[in-house]
């Protein structure tokens, strides 16, 4: 039963990777902690491991709908955010193993609620001319700063950071959400990898070997789920995907606040 639930969780969450460009970790972590009863740090490491494969295969599968040529035409934007994200990820792992995360969860949860409402009213904001249009010389430092924040968030909470990367690409760089989703996956991959590397250096990856069967079922089902999600990408409008992402951010923020009340 435990392995079946692992498979089911991976499949359902993996759909978010193919459809929205999210690793789905913000939904996976409460299940790992409350259903499977993993300690918070163990859950984070397993979460990052499964997220890596979910993000990798989601990016591959989405290539059948969103051309790689279009995605890589924004390579330097992705690189800009990625550099900041890697620095933040490196820093965040140290914090995750040495400080209390309650305040971080509160701050991030409130920020996600704010971003969710921006997504809900994206069309109105765009039509009113309020979309951020930074001059070129400010885009680099802004991307680095936001990337750093995203990286810290990613490594400390064991998520890929797509819930912040996608809104950044939408509101700072004015990209379509479908392209932003694929770019988000591309940016998330190295961020997750460096987080896993740092946890490995601290000896925490041994939990993956201890739970290798459980992790295997969740990884395989996540890959299948990401394929299914990418197949439905064409069926959704950009507006519909923005609303869906906004709802997911609200759910994620409430989960973080709930986890915070539980002292996790």
Other C-beta atoms lying within 10 Å of the C-beta of residue 2: 11
How far apart (Å, rounded) are the C-alpha atoms in residues 247 and 223? Answer: 23
Instruction: Round the CA-based radius of gyration of the chain to a whole number and report it.
Output: 17
Of 250, 247, 253, the closest CA to residue 107 belongs to 253
The per-residue pLDDT for range 44-98, each reduced to its tens digit, is 889 889 989 999 999 999 998 899 999 999 888 889 898 988 888 777 666 655 5
Instruction: Write out pLDDT tens, residues 162-183.
Output: 878 888 888 888 889 999 999 9
Tell me, what's the pLDDT at 97? 56
3-state DSSP call for residue 17?
Answer: helix
Distance CA 238, CA 184 (A): 15
d(CA 175, CA 170): 5
Identify the pLDDT of residue 154: 67
Total domains, the chain: 1
CA angle 113, 51, 80 (to 5 degrees): 70
Whether the pLDDT of residue 157 is over 70: the answer is no
Rounded CA gap, 219 and 225, in Å?
A: 10
d(C-alpha 126, C-alpha 169), whole Å = 14
> Hey, how many other C-beta atoms are within 10 angstroms of the C-beta on 37?
9
Domain that holds residue 117: 2-261
Residue in the block written with tokens 């909470």: 157
């Amino acid at each position: 039963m435990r392995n079946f639930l692992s498979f089911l969780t991976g499949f359902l969450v993996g759909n978010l990777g193919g459809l929205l460009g999210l690793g789905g970790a913000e939904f996976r972590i409460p299940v790992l902690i409350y259903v499977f009863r993993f300690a918070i740090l163990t859950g984070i490491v397993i979460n990052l491991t499964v997220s890596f494969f979910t993000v990798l295969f989601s990016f591959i599968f989405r290539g059948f709908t969103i051309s790689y040529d279009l995605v890589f035409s924004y390579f330097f934007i992705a690189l800009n955010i990625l550099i900041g994200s890697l620095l933040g990820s490196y820093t965040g792992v140290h914090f995750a193993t040495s400080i209390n995360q309650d305040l971080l969860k509160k701050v991030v949860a409130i920020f996600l609620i704010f971003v969710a409402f921006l997504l809900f009213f994206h069309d109105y904001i765009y039509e009113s001319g309020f979309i951020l249009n930074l001059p070129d010389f400010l885009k680099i430092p802004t991307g680095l700063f936001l990337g750093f924040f995203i990286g810290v968030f990613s490594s400390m909470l064991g998520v890929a950071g797509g819930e912040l990367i996608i809104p950044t690409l939408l509101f700072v760089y004015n990209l379509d959400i479908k392209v932003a989703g694929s770019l988000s996956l591309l940016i998330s991959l190295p961020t997750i990898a460096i987080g896993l590397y740092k946890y490995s250096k601290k000896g925490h990856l041994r939990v993956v070997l201890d739970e290798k069967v459980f992790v295997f079922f969740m990884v395989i089902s996540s890959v299948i789920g990401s394929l299914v999600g990418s197949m439905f990408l064409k069926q959704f409008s950009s507006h519909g995907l923005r609303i869906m992402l906004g709802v997911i951010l609200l759910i994620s923020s409430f989960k973080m606040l709930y986890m915070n009340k539980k002292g996790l």
